[in-house]
């Protein structure tokens, strides 16, 4: 019997290394408006709260709201066409997920990335793996992380509850999401935040490899 019967995963920085494609789409949108580009390290710090905040952080201070909105639309257009150019699972992720499925663990993805990109990436990279997949869809009344609404929606989709659930992520947003959802959090160290940043955010349980993650979830 697994230690946890339900595992809910963040996507970017947890299952998939998406950072280079996010940087390239951000810089393409900025360049289209004559704005300075950002380094990979800059974009690493900008991500985690959805693409609207990514662009808000990326545009120069004082950018008018209508121009910022245009940059955001250009980002979405570029990213929809290029979200898989350099993106792939972290080493060991497919094998780890397969071991959890074989043990009967229900699996879900909840991400602040736009829903169209989440659905496409999960279907392409992990076909038939997840029981529920949710991207950002605040227009449907589901608040993005760290609010618990996305986790609650995923659980409802799977017919599960919080009992026996664990949340897996790589950022301060994920630590807060787990706390707001009333469940334990396993924080991976291969993602977009440093251990020091994660400790400052309140992370308490770290996993350094996918093998360790599988062992903790399976017990």
Rounded to an integer, what distance in angstroms lies between the CA atom of residue 164 and that of residue 44?
32
Decide if 48 contacts 171 (C-beta within 8 A): yes
Decide if 22 contacts 79 (C-beta within 8 A): yes
Q: Are both 6-17+88-218 and 19-82 of the same fold?
A: no
Render pLDDT for 161-172 as a digit per residue (tens, 0 to 9).
Answer: 999 999 999 999
Output the average pLDDT for the chain.
96
pLDDT above 90: residue 48: no
**Helix or strand holding residue 156 (H, E):** helix 149-158
Domain 19-82 CATH (choose: 1.10.760.10, 1.10.150.240, 2.60.40.1250, 3.40.50.2300): 1.10.150.240
3-state secondary structure at position 89: strand
Angle at the Cα of 93 from the Cα atoms of 105 and 187, rounded to 5 degrees: 75
**Helix or strand holding residue 16 (H, E):** strand 16-17
Q: Which of 10, 12, 21, 170 is catalytic?
A: 10
Mean pLDDT, residues 208-213: 98
CA distances from 142 to 55, 145, 150, 167 (A): 21, 9, 6, 18
| Confidence band of 173 (pLDDT split at 50, 70, 90) | very high
Pairing verdict, β 165-169 and 132-136: unpaired
Render pLDDT for 115-145 as a digit per residue (tens, 0 to 9).
Answer: 989 999 999 999 999 999 999 987 788 999 9
Render pLDDT for 99-115 as a digit per residue (tens, 0 to 9).
Answer: 999 999 999 999 999 89
Catalytic residue flag (residue 10): yes
Domain residue ranges of the chain, discontinuous segments joined by +: 6-17+88-218, 19-82
Query: Looking at the chain, how many residues does it have?
Result: 219
CATH class of 6-17+88-218: alpha beta
């Amino acid at each position: 019997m697994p230690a946890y019967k339900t595992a809910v995963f963040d996507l970017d920085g947890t299952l998939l290394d998406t950072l280079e494609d996010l940087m390239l789409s951000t810089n393409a949108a900025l360049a289209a408006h004559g704005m300075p580009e950002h380094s990979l390290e800059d974009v690493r710090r900008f991500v985690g709260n959805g693409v609207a905040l990514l662009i808000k952080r990326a545009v120069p201070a004082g950018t008018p709201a209508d121009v910022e909105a245009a940059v955001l639309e250009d980002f979405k257009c570029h990213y929809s066409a290029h979200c898989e150019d350099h993106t792939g699972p972290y080493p060991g992720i497919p094998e780890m997920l397969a071991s959890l499925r074989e043990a009967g663990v229900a699996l879900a993805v909840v991400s602040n990335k736009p829903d169209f990109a989440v659905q496409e990436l999960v279907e392409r990279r992990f076909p038939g793996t997840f029981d529920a997949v949710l991207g950002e869809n605040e227009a449907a009344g589901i608040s993005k992380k760290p609010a618990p609404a996305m986790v609650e929606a995923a659980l409802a989709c799977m017919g599960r509850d919080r009992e026996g659930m664990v949340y897996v992520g790589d950022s301060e947003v994920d630590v807060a999401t787990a706390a707001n959802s009333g469940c334990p959090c396993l924080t991976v160290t291969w993602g977009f935040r440093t251990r020091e940043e994660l400790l400052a955010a309140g992370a308490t349980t770290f996993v350094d490899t996918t093998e360790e993650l599988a062992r903790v979830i399976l017990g």
